[in-house]
Amino acid sequence: MSFDIPDDRQYLESHEWALETDDDTVRVGISDFAQDELGDVVFVELPDEGDDLQQDTEFGVIESIKAVSDLYAPVSGEVVAINDDLFNAPELVNDDPFGDGWMLEIDPADADELENLLSAADYEAQVA
């Protein structure tokens, strides 16, 4: 089985993706591989707007019917947006993990931190 791994963004070993937006924020979600491993997503717990996150530390929890999994921040910074749609429609994470299933946007404290992340090719090698 092959998974989508768009090369317009970067990845964490823990299967989150990070996409720089036109507003210089970093949008965060989980990969196609991760949503497939989890199965039907039924619950997403996210931080509040204004919360400060640290790179590689937990920012929330995602639950499928069968599993509970922590979510990790790809960069440090303030949460400037969260995807409210996931509270009533967590299945968006399964249906469109790189699009409508996004989770939050961070105003990065240090843009250099993005250099620590995996490229699409590196991530593909990890999940292959």
Partner 1 sequence: MPLQTPPLRGIHDERGAKFTEFGGWDMPVEFDSIQTEHEAVREDVGIFDVSHMGQIHVTGPDATTLMQRLTSNDVTRLNVGDSQYATITDEDGLIIDDTVVYRLPNEGGEATYLFVPNAGTDEATHERWISYRNEFDLEATVDNQTDEYAMFAVQGPNAPELVDDVTEESVTDVDRFTATMATVDGVECWTARTGYTGEDGFELIVPASEAEDIWAQLDCQPCGLGSRDTLRIEAGLLLAGQDFDLESNPRTPYEAGIGFTVALDTEFVGRDALEAAREDGLNEELVGFQLIDRGIPRHGYDITNMDSRVIGTVTSGTMSPTLDQPIGLGYVPSEYAEPGTTLQVVVRGQSKKARVETTPFIDTV
Contacting residues toward partner 1, per CB under 8 A: 1, 39-40, 42-43, 61, 63-66, 68, 87, 94
d(CA 24, CA 20): 6
7 vs 40 by CB, closer to partner 1: 40
d(CA 117, CA 69): 20
Q: Closest separation between CB of residue 40 and partner 1, Å? A: 4
**What is the per-residue DSSP string for 33-78?**
HHHHHH-SEEEEE---TT-EE-TTSEEEEEEESS-EEEEE-SS-EE
1 vs 128 by CB, closer to partner 1: 1
C-beta of residue 97 within 8 angstroms of C-beta of residue 35: yes
Q: Closest separation between CB of residue 67 and partner 1, Å? A: 10
13 vs 70 by CB, closer to partner 1: 70
d(CA 8, CA 92): 20
Q: Closest separation between CB of residue 68 and partner 1, Å? A: 7
Q: Closest separation between CB of residue 78 and partner 1, Å? A: 23
19 vs 42 by CB, closer to partner 1: 42
